[in-house]
């Protein structure tokens, strides 16, 4: 493949550049916007698949990519296993959400702002790829802020009162997270004098004995900052409103991808910048473990009492991001060779991205077609919206963790990992949470198919194919990753191995 070492920077710069051409295009050639955006993300998807192939097979990415050739001084992009995996997830799921969005946004957004939506979407995609790839703490901060602003903006672009308020709450809490992050970077820079993650890691290992307090404060600020941004349990307050009131494609991308990318960034920093000795001294992974456990249980309990379908899905996201953090928390620094839980947590990033964005799309389809938002109105819609509800069965089976779906595989790995580090209590947590998930997902489709229909006089708008096809593909992917997850797990095992070193 020609010039493959330049693919990461071409991808990020291209998406960001194209984002700013989009509004011009919207003035000039209105109906080009959607195809151009889809083309851009498809190219990015192909590139990220090439990168992942090259990372696994070749050696083009063994050295980092220094911007402008400023070796050891400039910003470094580094495509390792974890970031290339995340790139493929972002662009794969992002492409399907975008295709779905074309139909949905025609109804949800006013004509005037629809071009801007693609600007924000491409900005978000470009900045998320940047966050996955960058090896520089300050560069990460800049990408984080682009993600934060564009994520808030794709909520507030639908100008109704709920969206604006939710978006403001999200912005303030995310600014708090950014403040903590920057303070933490300042602490790290104070000790090490570097911004580059690898060099920070090397220097920090030398300075552990000398500046333990600085490292401790930096680490806790880091966990708080990424915890706020990815809605770790007690810091989740912004999520339900923001994800439930946004337009459906935005909800799908926010719940499916945006909260995960912060978790990936935390994994990168926690394992590469901070020396293993400090993780052994401080029970940071235990704290993350307990926060995630509370999130898993309480997220599900809050989800049970919701009436609004999208709000229920949003609370369920809090529980599901708990699994990702549980994978980090179950990592035992005393026994770094037991990595199965971490693999399970990282695998859940993919599985949850696929299934949650699919469920939000189904919620969007129900709103698009029948205008129904409350769960109790869903009785009997299974006969009218057959395919969406069939796929919903797959999605909820995966949420519960029934075998042959993706959700089962990640829960299996987490449970095995919990046993490997002698913490069988957390297997119980996983089982209890599966039961709770079953309690609130199962009745929806049972009622949808078996209850008396109350919708004789509601007209169901036909759902366009461009909205149905992505949902069907994602449904297929849920089953595929449940039946044949071996390649993904292979990549993740190498990823964890290279992180722990």
Q: Which parts of this chain interact with other proteins (CB under 8 A)?
A: 138, 141-142, 145, 148-149, 152-153, 156, 159-162, 164-165, 167-168, 171-172, 175-176, 178-179, 182-183, 186, 189-190, 195
Nearer to other proteins, 44 or 148 (CB): 148
Among the listed residues 309, 303, 280, the one whose alpha carbon sits nearest the alpha carbon of residue 392: 309
- Residue 453: strand, helix, or coil: coil
Question: Closest approach of Cβ 247 to other proteins, in Å?
Answer: 16
- Per the DSSP assignment, residues forming a β-bridge with 76 are 66
Question: Closest approach of Cβ 161 to other proteins, in Å?
Answer: 4
Count CA atoms closer than 13 A to 110's CA, side-chain side: 7
Nearer to other proteins, 170 or 392 (CB): 170
Cβ pair 288, 219 in contact under 8 A: no
Question: Closest approach of Cβ 178 to other proteins, in Å?
Answer: 8
What 8-state DSSP symbol labels residue 256? Answer: I
Question: What phi and psi values does residue 200 have, to the nearest 5 degrees?
Answer: -60, -45
Question: Closest approach of Cβ 117 to other proteins, in Å?
Answer: 16
Structure tokens at 120: 């924000």
- How far is 499 from 501, CA to CA, in rounded Å? 6
Nearer to other proteins, 72 or 161 (CB): 161
Question: Closest approach of Cβ 302 to other proteins, in Å?
Answer: 16
Cβ pair 222, 184 in contact under 8 A: yes
Nearer to other proteins, 29 or 374 (CB): 374
- How far is 166 from 246, CA to CA, in rounded Å? 9
Among the listed residues 17, 19, 79, 13, the one whose alpha carbon sits nearest the alpha carbon of residue 49: 79
Question: Closest approach of Cβ 255 to other proteins, in Å?
Answer: 21
Nearer to other proteins, 184 or 285 (CB): 184
Residue 174 vs residues 144, 294, 491: alpha-carbon distances, Å: 10, 21, 31
Question: Closest approach of Cβ 9 to other proteins, in Å?
Answer: 18
């Amino acid at each position: 493949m020609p010039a493959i070492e330049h693919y990461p920077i071409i991808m990020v710069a291209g998406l960001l550049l194209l984002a700013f051409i989009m509004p011009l295009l919207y003035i000039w050639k209105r109906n080009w916007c959607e195809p151009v955006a889809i083309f851009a993300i498809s190219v990015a998807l192909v590139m990220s698949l090439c990168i992942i192939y090259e990372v696994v097979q070749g050696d083009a990415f063994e050295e980092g990519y220094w911007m402008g050739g400023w070796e050891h001084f400039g910003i470094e992009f580094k495509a390792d296993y974890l970031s290339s995996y995340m790139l493929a997830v972002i662009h794969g799921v992002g492409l399907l959400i975008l295709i779905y969005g074309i139909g949905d946004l025609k109804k949800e957004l006013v004509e005037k702002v629809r071009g801007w939506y693609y600007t924000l979407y491409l900005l978000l995609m470009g900045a998320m790829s940047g966050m996955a790839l960058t090896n520089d703490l300050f560069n990460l901060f800049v990408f984080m802020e682009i993600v934060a602003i564009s994520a808030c903006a794709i909520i507030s672009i639908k100008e109704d009162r709920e969206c604006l308020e939710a978006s403001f709450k999200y912005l303030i809490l995310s600014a708090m997270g950014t403040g903590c992050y920057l303070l933490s970077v300042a602490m790290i820079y104070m000790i090490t004098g570097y911004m580059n993650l690898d060099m920070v890691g090397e220097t920090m290992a030398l300075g552990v004995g000398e500046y333990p307090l600085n490292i401790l404060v930096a680490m806790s600020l880091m966990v708080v900052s990424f915890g706020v941004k990815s809605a770790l349990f007690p810091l989740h307050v912004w999520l339900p409103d923001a994800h439930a009131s946004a337009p459906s494609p935005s909800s799908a991308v926010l719940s499916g991808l945006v909260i995960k990318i912060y978790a990936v960034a935390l994994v990168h920093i926690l394992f590469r910048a901070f020396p293993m000795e400090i993780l052994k001294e401080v029970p940071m992974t235990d704290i993350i473990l307990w926060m995630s456990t509370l999130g898993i249980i309480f997220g599900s309990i809050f989800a049970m009492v919701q009436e609004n379908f999208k709000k229920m899905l949003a609370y369920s996201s809090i529980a599901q991001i708990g699994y990702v953090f549980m994978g980090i928390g179950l990592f035992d620094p005393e026994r770094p060779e037991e990595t199965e839980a971490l693999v399970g947590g990282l695998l859940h990033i993919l599985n949850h991205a696929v299934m949650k964005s699919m469920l939000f799309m189904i919620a969007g389809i129900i709103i698009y077609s029948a205008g129904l938002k409350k769960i109790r109105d869903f009785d009997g819609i299974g006969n009218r919206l057959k395919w969406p509800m069939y796929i919903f069965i797959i999605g909820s089976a995966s949420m519960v963790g029934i075998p042959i779906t993706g959700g089962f595989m990640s829960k299996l790995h987490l449970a095995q990992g919990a046993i490997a580090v002698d913490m069988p209590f957390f297997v119980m947590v996983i089982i209890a949470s599966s039961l709770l998930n079953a309690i609130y997902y199962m009745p929806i489709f049972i009622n949808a198919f078996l209850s008396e229909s109350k919708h004789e006089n509601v007209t169901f708008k036909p759902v366009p194919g461009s909205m149905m096809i992505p949902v069907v593909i994602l449904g297929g992917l849920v089953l595929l990753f449940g039946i044949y997850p071996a390649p993904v797990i292979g990549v993740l095992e190498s990823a964890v191995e290279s992180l722990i070193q």
